[in-house]
């Protein structure tokens, strides 16, 4: 059918349904049209915009084989309490068929404080595992072969220290650094913009990140040195287009920083990975994943002149949206997570964490974690969604939405470029403000009923408080502090002092790569807090820009 | 709580309650101010103003810290705009001063403009007095440099610092019109950004054009408030300005003028209140007469004044 | 007289999830309150002292990390020690139902969990604030 003919038919259709549709109540937040046709994607050049999986611009997926080769990595984020407790949970997950580990650290660890620091009171072991020194890291990976498992660590400001500890544990197991597989999040910019666990100001933080890029490209070549994260931006309330726009703007800042530090783009770009949110609107999410791949490929090719295909591929981990879980009728969350999983899989994710139904109430219990993992397995083995590559390609609606999200995101990226890049935009509070505006709008929409959340503002029931929630043992803090003090009494304190003095000197010399010095320090069992305090002394601390 | 007595005895909660009484125009505020007034006049008052986003709060924090290092106690009043639509406000300056919260030598109070035009500068002046009577050596009043009432607030300062940042484009034009004449000192914040030197040149040019210039030419300093750079030099400029206005009698003149303005303000407000109360039951009748053009407002006012000032 | 309800919105503890705190801050502003937002990582001492200096009528805290049983009561005690006995103290965040009675016992007037409408928080404050 020619475009003119389709146009004419479409008009006929619209006229025929107009009267009927006028009788239905208008629902807000609907797409522009009720029906999409070839007219909506007539501008798409198949080779340049869609193409084949494993081929530029990777809209259809980064590998040629995608899930016909192997499924995504089912990677469950876990960690709480002490290293010993978390180690048990990890081994249980591996027994259950999880194919990668994902470590959650407690907040003092994420912000570079030891468990005995006064500011850590009440927080030790709460949202993740407490790691004070190499001694804890050894226990965390006890009886887990680091040569086989791939490990993702959600750690940002002190990522260099945790990575150094991981390398040191592997060495003790007899595994050399070039065998290690995994990811550190290491994405400081989104900490300033959305997640809040920053330590140092942007400039030294960017230096630490490029130091890691450089060190890993030589010594830990299979390691993903950064996971540029939109997840938390979305959790903070952004829209889908904002999620990928702000994150890709962060990605551009990292690439620029690394190039400025003298690295060759093709030497590090292949180790960059991304981290997306899988939200409730299944089709919009699929379009978002596809658009993000296309945008990154074009930017890496056209703006940074990358040559290796790997440098242009946007590989990503996905987590289902925690902020979309409801405390009301928590079992409904299983269904939400299943739909979010479907979106991530049809969007071609490389790995996936599925949230547990009880996470709006507490940390997940073992039983809930198992359902969440089973959700991925059902989607993989039973649903058929993983049977062909990029199954929604060619859908008029999904392709049109992919174009729309790409366009919206590129407009943001252009605006951020004009402000001087992501760092400047964050320092001005621009990105934070955009996110907050979206979050506020969402909340007001929910309260006005313009947006329906089942069980929250519609279909509510009287409920009994849920049972069987996980409670972190209140004495974890004390136990951890006791362990820390015992460890400190047993180590060679002179060696620690010397290593920290050496690290301080290295921090003061901007041209020095800090990784070897940090590695040397963790091997003396210098604590995370001690190491970060040395860096705080030289680098200072970040002061948040908040504009409401 | 006997607010004034407790305040004078060093009770921080009493100080806080006194400022609330002033801000909310509680009846007891007048009595509190009466008791506090004899204990005021010791503090040196710094005004900090500039456009939104210029980094005033960060600069205030750093200046306060520097004075603390000199052993001086500091009071801070940070004014933020109240929304004209909802009457609410987010008072967000304090967030950049969190490091001062636990310093007992510092007291920070956030105030909303609350939409009242003349009232705001009066209330701020009384809040400054409360801090002064409490014994603060330095009082910093920080406000956004837009709107006449906010400009009036910093006029009440002994030394006023205008903070600007590079890259504001045409904003500089607006500043020229508004707050240029109130600056005793200028400082260019974020001076590591491109355009800092250009901004210094522009301010210089505007000062050249200022025909009312006395023999004090406002110095222009450069700071990076977030890193604490240039604060010492800025404070040295404040010191010089203080010496200058103390030396030539300008400080005394300013304070005399301020006392006079204050007296007239309070007198005016008092008379207004009294008269309004006095004629409240007759007011509608007057208005009716005017509507029917039986009389005119001038005759009415003359009559009322004559009656009251007998 | 021009009374305004003044609210300190604070995030005690170390978690950086301030979406809820910021949404609440805005909603309270839109309800005509004066909101002092203190930002992330505030210690109980900082929160209590800021509340005193600002002479707020309400202290609203949000925690998502699970540190609430430790931190909320600490803030209450510090406020009382400072003579702020009339201040209305409320909390929000990921807080299990089972923890709420103990928090109320400790002096938290209300606990708002995920899914709460901001207008409920506004109404609660209006109905319970002492001025």
Would A176 be classed as within a structural domain?
A: yes
Q: Encoding tokens for residue B24?
A: 């909310």
Q: Which residue range is the domain that position A212 belongs to?
A: 46-70+136-448
Return residues 407-436 of A near B (CB < 8 Å). 428
B128 and B110 share a domain? yes
For A424, the closest chain B residue by CA position comes to B193
**Model confidence at B176: pLDDT above 70:** no
B228 and B298 share a domain? no
Would A91 be classed as within a structural domain?
A: no
Check residue A276 and give its pLDDT.
98
Q: What is the 3-state secondary structure (H, E, C) of chain B?
A: CCHHHHHHCCCHHHHHHHHHHHHCCCCHHHHHHHHHHHHCCCCEEEEEEECCCCCHHHHHHHHHHHHHHCCCCEEEEEEECCCCCCCCEEECHHHHHHHHCCCCCEEEEEEECCCCHHHHHHHHHHHHHHHHHHCCCEEEEEEECCCHHHHHHHHCCCEEEEEECCCCCCHHHHHHHHCHHHCCEEEECCCCCCCHHHHHHHHHHHHHHCCCCCCCCCCEEECEHHHCECHHHHHHHHHHHHHHHHHCCHHHHHHHHHHHHHHHHHHHHHHHHHHHHHHCCCHHHHHHHHHCCCCCHHHHHHHHHHHHCC
Would A50 be classed as within a structural domain?
A: yes
pLDDT classification of B207: cutoffs 50, 70, 90: confident
SS3 A231: helix
Residue A401: which of A346, A364, A354, A326 has the closest Cα? A346
Min Cα–Cα distance to chain B from A419, Å = 10
Render A419-456 in DSSP notation, one character per residue: HTSHHHHHHTTHHHHHHHHHHHHHHHHHHHTSS--BTT
**Model confidence at B169: pLDDT above 70:** no
Query: C126 — contact with chain B (CB < 8 Å)?
Result: no
Q: Which tens digit of pLDDT belongs to each residue from B245-296? A: 999 998 998 889 888 988 998 898 888 888 888 888 999 999 999 999 999 9
For B57, the closest chain A residue by CA position comes to A545
Min Cα–Cα distance to chain B from C97, Å = 31
Q: Encoding tokens for residue A467?
A: 């049972």
For A437, the closest chain C residue by CA position comes to C23
In chain C, residues with a C-beta closer than 8 Å to the C-beta of B87 are: 4, 32
Residue to substitute from A427, A540, A543, A546, interface B, most B β-carbons within 10 A: A543
Domain boundary among B248, B280, B296: B248
B92 and B209 share a domain? yes
Q: What sections of A386-526 are H helices per DSSP?
A: 396-419, 422-427, 430-448, 476-490, 493-508, 515-523
CA distance A32 to A401: 10
Min Cα–Cα distance to chain A from B101, Å = 15
Q: Encoding tokens for residue C102?
A: 């103990």
CA distance A335 to A300: 37
Q: How far is CA A536 from CA A200, A494, A518, B206, in A?
A: 7, 21, 14, 42
Tell me which residues of chain B have a C-beta less than 8 Å from any C-beta of chain A: 53, 58, 90, 92, 95-96, 226-227
CA distance A79 to A102: 8
Return residues 529-548 of A near B (CB < 8 Å). 540, 543-544, 546-548
Would A511 be classed as within a structural domain?
A: no
Min Cα–Cα distance to chain A from C129, Å = 23
- Contact across the interface for A543 and B96, Cβ inside 8 Å: yes
B138 and B9 share a domain? no
Min Cα–Cα distance to chain A from B199, Å = 18
In chain A, residues with a C-beta closer than 8 Å to the C-beta of B53 are: 428
Buried b (16+ CB within 10 A) or exposed e, B283-292: eeebeeeeee
**Model confidence at C110: pLDDT above 60:** yes
B221 and B292 share a domain? no
Supply the DSSP symbol for A129: B
Would A154 be classed as within a structural domain?
A: yes
- Contact across the interface for A548 and B92, Cβ inside 8 Å: yes
pLDDT classification of C2: cutoffs 50, 70, 90: low
Would A114 be classed as within a structural domain?
A: no
Check residue B171 and give its pLDDT.
57
B74 and B212 share a domain? yes
Query: C55 — contact with chain B (CB < 8 Å)?
Result: yes
Give CA B209 to chain center in angstroms. 26
Would B258 be classed as within a structural domain?
A: no
Min Cα–Cα distance to chain B from C12, Å = 13
For C96, the closest chain A residue by CA position comes to A361
Q: Which residue range is the domain that position B298 belongs to?
A: 264-308
Would A149 be classed as within a structural domain?
A: yes
Count of CB pairs separated by less than 8 Å, B with C: 86
Residue B71 has a CB neighbour count (10 Å cut-off) of 8
Q: Encoding tokens for residue A83?
A: 């290293």
- Say if CB C131 and CB A502 are below 8 A apart: no
B17 and B96 share a domain? no
- Say if CB A340 and CB A322 are below 8 A apart: no
CA distance A476 to A481: 9
In chain B, residues with a C-beta closer than 8 Å to the C-beta of A544 are: 95
Q: How far is CA C59 from CA A71, B90, B92, B271, C34, in A?
A: 49, 14, 15, 39, 12
Residue B144 phi, psi dihedral angles, 5° rounding? -70, 135
Per the structure, the count of domains in chain A is: 1
CA distance A400 to A37: 9
- Contact across the interface for A362 and C69, Cβ inside 8 Å: no
Name which of C22, C97, C118 is nearest A447 (Cβ-Cβ): C118
Check residue B116 and give its pLDDT.
62
Check residue A319 and give its pLDDT.
97
**Model confidence at B44: pLDDT above 90:** yes
Neighbours of chain C (3+ CB pairs under 8 A): A, B
B115 and B9 share a domain? no
Residue B159 phi, psi dihedral angles, 5° rounding? -130, 130
Check residue A99 and give its pLDDT.
72
Check residue B118 and give its pLDDT.
56
pLDDT classification of B172: cutoffs 50, 70, 90: low
Q: Which residues pair with A430 in a beta bridge?
A: none
Name which of A121, A196, A326 is nearest C40 (Cβ-Cβ): A196
Per the structure, the count of domains in chain B is: 3
Sign of the torsion angle spanned by Cα atoms A94, A96, A99, A103: negative
- Say if CB A294 and CB A59 are below 8 A apart: yes
Determine if the peptide bond prior to A57 is cis (ω within 30°): yes
Angle at the Cα of A157 from the Cα atoms of A417 and A512, rounded to 5 degrees: 85
CA distance C94 to B262: 52
Q: How far is CA A340 from CA A44, A105, A354, in A?
A: 27, 25, 8
Averaged pLDDT for residues C23-49: 95
Question: Which ipTM value was assigned to this complex?
Answer: 0.95
Query: A118 — contact with chain B (CB < 8 Å)?
Result: no
Query: B95 — contact with chain C (CB < 8 Å)?
Result: yes
Query: A2 — contact with chain B (CB < 8 Å)?
Result: no
In chain C, residues with a C-beta closer than 8 Å to the C-beta of A113 are: 14
Locate tokens 């620029």: which residue?
Answer: A256
In chain A, residues with a C-beta closer than 8 Å to the C-beta of B95 are: 544, 546
Contacts of A420 (CB under 8 A, 6+ apart): none
CA distance C10 to B151: 31
CATH, residue A372: 3.20.20.240
Residue C112: which of C32, C30, C27 has the closest Cα? C27
Residue to substitute from C45, C53, C78, C119, interface B, most B β-carbons within 10 A: C53
For C37, the closest chain B residue by CA position comes to B92
Min Cα–Cα distance to chain C from B3, Å = 13
Q: Which tens digit of pLDDT belongs to each residue from B95-133? A: 999 999 999 999 999 999 887 655 677 889 999 999 999
Q: What sections of A301-381 are H helices per DSSP?
A: 309-312, 332-346, 366-381
Domain boundary among B248, B279, B299: B248
In chain A, residues with a C-beta closer than 8 Å to the C-beta of B83 are: none
Would B29 be classed as within a structural domain?
A: yes
Locate tokens 């997840």: which residue?
Answer: A231
**Model confidence at B178: pLDDT above 70:** no
Would A190 be classed as within a structural domain?
A: yes
Would B255 be classed as within a structural domain?
A: no
Would B103 be classed as within a structural domain?
A: yes
Domains of chain C by start residue, with CATH: 6-126 (3.40.50.280)
pLDDT in tens, chain A (548 residues): 899 999 999 999 999 998 888 888 878 888 889 999 999 998 889 988 999 999 999 999 999 999 999 999 988 887 778 899 899 989 988 888 777 888 999 999 999 999 999 999 889 998 899 999 999 999 999 999 999 999 999 999 999 999 999 999 999 999 999 999 999 999 999 999 999 999 999 999 999 999 999 999 999 999 999 999 999 999 999 999 999 999 999 999 999 999 998 999 999 999 999 999 999 999 999 999 999 999 999 999 999 999 999 999 999 999 999 999 999 999 999 999 999 999 999 999 999 999 999 988 877 888 999 999 999 999 999 999 999 999 999 999 999 999 999 999 999 999 999 999 999 999 888 999 999 999 999 999 999 999 999 999 999 999 887 777 777 777 899 999 999 999 999 999 999 999 999 999 999 999 999 999 999 999 999 999 999 999 999 999 998 877 67
Q: What rounded mean pLDDT belongs to chain B? A: 89
Min Cα–Cα distance to chain A from B197, Å = 19
Name which of A201, A540, A546 is nearest B95 (Cβ-Cβ): A546
Sign of the torsion angle spanned by Cα atoms B48, B49, B52, B54: negative
For C117, the closest chain A residue by CA position comes to A447
Domain boundary among B196, B219, B248: B248
- Contact across the interface for C66 and A362, Cβ inside 8 Å: yes
Check residue A21 and give its pLDDT.
87
Sign of the torsion angle spanned by Cα atoms A255, A260, A261, A263: positive
- Say if CB B21 and CB B32 are below 8 A apart: yes
In chain C, residues with a C-beta closer than 8 Å to the C-beta of B91 are: 34-37, 54
Residue to substitute from A119, A123, A235, interface C, most C β-carbons within 10 A: A123
In chain B, residues with a C-beta closer than 8 Å to the C-beta of A548 are: 90, 92
B31 and B86 share a domain? no
CATH, residue B168: 3.40.50.300
Residue B29: which of B143, B150, B122, B106 has the closest Cα? B122
For A463, the closest chain C residue by CA position comes to C97
**Model confidence at B211: pLDDT above 80:** no
Contacts of A536 (CB under 8 A, 6+ apart): A112, A199, A200
Residue B161 phi, psi dihedral angles, 5° rounding? -105, 125
Terminal C-alpha separation, chain C: 13
In chain C, residues with a C-beta closer than 8 Å to the C-beta of B82 are: 34
Min Cα–Cα distance to chain A from C82, Å = 21
B7 and B116 share a domain? no
- Say if CB A262 and CB A244 are below 8 A apart: no
Residue C114 phi, psi dihedral angles, 5° rounding? -55, 140
Check residue B209 and give its pLDDT.
77
- Contact across the interface for C33 and B88, Cβ inside 8 Å: yes
- Say if CB A303 and CB A318 are below 8 A apart: no
Terminal C-alpha separation, chain A: 52
Quick one: CA torsion of C26, C27, C29, C34, rounded to 10 degrees? Answer: -100
pTM attached to this predicted model: 0.90
SS3 A70: coil
């Amino acid at each position: 059918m020619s475009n003119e003919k389709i146009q004419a038919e479409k008009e006929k259709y619209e006229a025929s349904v107009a009267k009927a549709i006028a009788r239905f109540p208008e629902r807000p937040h609907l797409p522009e049209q009720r029906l999409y046709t070839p007219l909506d994607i007539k501008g798409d050049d198949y080779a340049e915009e869609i193409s084949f999986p494993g081929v530029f611009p990777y809209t259809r997926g980064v590998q040629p084989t995608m899930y016909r080769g192997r499924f995504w990595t089912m990677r469950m984020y876990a960690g709480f309490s002490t290293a010993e407790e978390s180690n048990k949970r990890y081994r249980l997950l591996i027994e259950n068929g999880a194919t990668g580990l994902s470590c959650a650290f407690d907040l003092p660890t994420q912000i570079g404080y030891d468990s005995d620091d006064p500011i850590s009171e009440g927080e030790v072991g709460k949202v993740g595992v407490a790691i004070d020194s190499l001694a804890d890291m050894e226990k965390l990976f006890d009886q887990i072969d680091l040569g086989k498992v791939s490990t993702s660590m959600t750690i940002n400001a002190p990522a260099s220290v945790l990575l150094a500890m991981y390398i040191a544990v592997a060495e003790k197991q007899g595994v050399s650094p070039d065998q290690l597989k995994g990811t550190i999040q290491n994405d400081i910019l989104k900490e300033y913009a959305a997640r809040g666990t920053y330590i140092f100001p942007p400039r030294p933080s960017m230096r630490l990140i490029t130091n890691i890029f450089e060190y890993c490209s030589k010594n830990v070549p299979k390691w993903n040195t950064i996971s540029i994260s939109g997840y938390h931006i979305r959790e903070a309330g952004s829209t889908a287009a904002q999620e990928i726009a702000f994150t890709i703007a962060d990605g551009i800042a990292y690439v620029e920083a690394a190039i400025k530090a003298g690295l060759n783009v093709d030497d590090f770009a292949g180790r960059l990975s991304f981290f997306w949110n899988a939200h409730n609107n299944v089709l919009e999410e699929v379009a978002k994943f596809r658009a993000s791949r296309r945008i990154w490929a074009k930017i890496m090719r056209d703006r940074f002149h990358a040559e290796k295909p790997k440098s242009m591929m946007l590989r990503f981990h996905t987590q289902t949206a925690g902020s979309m879980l409801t405390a009301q009728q928590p079992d409904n969350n299983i269904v939400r997570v299943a739909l979010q999983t479907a979106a991530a899989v049809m969007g071609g994710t490389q790995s996936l964490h599925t949230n547990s139904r009880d996470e709006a109430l507490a940390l997940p219990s073992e039983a809930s974690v198992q359902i969440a993992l089973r959700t991925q397995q059902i989607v993989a083995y039973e649903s058929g969604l993983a049977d062909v590559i990029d199954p929604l390609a060619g859908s008029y609606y999904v392709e049109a939405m992919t174009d729309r999200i790409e366009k919206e995101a590129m407009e943001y990226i252009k605006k951020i470029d004009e402000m001087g890049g992501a760092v400047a935009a964050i320092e001005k509070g621009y990105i934070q403000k955009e996110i907050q505006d979206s979050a506020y709008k969402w909340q007001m929409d929910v309260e006005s009923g313009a947006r329906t959340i089942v069980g929250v503002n519609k279909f509510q029931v009287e409920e009994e408080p849920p049972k069987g929630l996980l409670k972190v043992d209140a004495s974890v803090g004390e136990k951890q502090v006791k362990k820390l003090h015992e460890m400190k009494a047993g180590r060679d304190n002179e060696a620690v002092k010397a290593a920290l003095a050496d690290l301080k000197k290295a921090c003061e010399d901007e041209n020095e790569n800090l990784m070897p010095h940090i590695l040397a320090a963790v091997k003396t069992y210098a604590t995370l807090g001690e190491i970060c305090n040395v860096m705080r002394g030289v680098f200072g601390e970040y002061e948040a820009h908040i504009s409401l | 709580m006997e607010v004034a007595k407790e305040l004078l005895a060093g009770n921080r909660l009493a100080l806080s309650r006194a400022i609330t009484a002033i801000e909310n125009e509680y009846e007891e505020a007048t009595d509190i101010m009466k008791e506090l007034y004899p204990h005021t006049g010791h503090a040196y008052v710094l005004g900090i103003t500039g456009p939104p986003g210029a980094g005033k709060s960060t600069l205030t924090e750093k200046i306060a810290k520097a004075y603390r290092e000199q052993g001086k106690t500091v009071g801070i009043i940070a004014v933020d705009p109240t929304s004209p639509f909802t009457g609410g406000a987010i008072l967000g300056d304090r967030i950049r001063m969190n490091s001062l919260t636990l310093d007992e030598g510092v007291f920070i109070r956030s105030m909303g403009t609350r939409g009242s035009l003349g009232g705001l500068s009066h209330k701020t002046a009384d809040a400054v007095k409360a801090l002064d009577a409490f014994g603060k050596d330095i009082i910093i009043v920080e406000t956004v440099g837009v709107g006449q009432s906010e400009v009036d607030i910093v006029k009440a300062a002994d030394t006023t610092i205008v903070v600007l940042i590079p890259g504001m484009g045409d904003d500089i034009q607006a500043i020229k019109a508004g707050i240029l004449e109130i600056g005793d000192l200028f400082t260019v914040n974020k001076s590591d950004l491109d355009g800092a030197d250009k901004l210094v040149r522009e301010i210089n040019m505007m000062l050249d054009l200022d025909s009312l210039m006395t023999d004090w030419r406002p110095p222009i300093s450069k700071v990076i408030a977030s890193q604490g750079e240039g604060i010492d030099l800025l404070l040295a400029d404040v010191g010089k300005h203080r010496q200058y206005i103390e030396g030539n009698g300008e400080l005394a003149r300013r304070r005399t003028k301020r006392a006079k303005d204050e007296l007239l303000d309070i007198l005016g407000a008092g008379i207004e209140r009294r008269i309004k109360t006095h004629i409240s039951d007759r007011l509608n009748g007057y208005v009716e007469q005017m509507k029917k053009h039986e009389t005119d407002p001038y005759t009415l006012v003359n009559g009322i004044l004559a009656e009251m000032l007998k | 007289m021009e009374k305004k309800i003044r609210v300190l919105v604070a995030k005690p503890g170390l978690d950086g999830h301030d979406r809820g705190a910021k949404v609440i801050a805005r909603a309270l502003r839109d309800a005509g309150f004066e909101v002092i937002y203190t930002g992330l990582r505030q210690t109980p001492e900082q929160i209590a002292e800021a509340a005193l200096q600002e002479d707020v009528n309400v202290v609203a805290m949000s925690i998502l990390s699970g540190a609430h049983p430790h931190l909320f009561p600490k803030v209450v005690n510090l406020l009382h020690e400072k003579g702020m006995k009339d201040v209305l103290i409320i909390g929000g965040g990921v807080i299990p139902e089972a923890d709420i009675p103990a928090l109320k016992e400790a002096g938290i007037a209300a606990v708002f969990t995920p899914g709460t409408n901001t207008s409920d928080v506004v109404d609660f404050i209006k109905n319970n604030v002492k001025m």
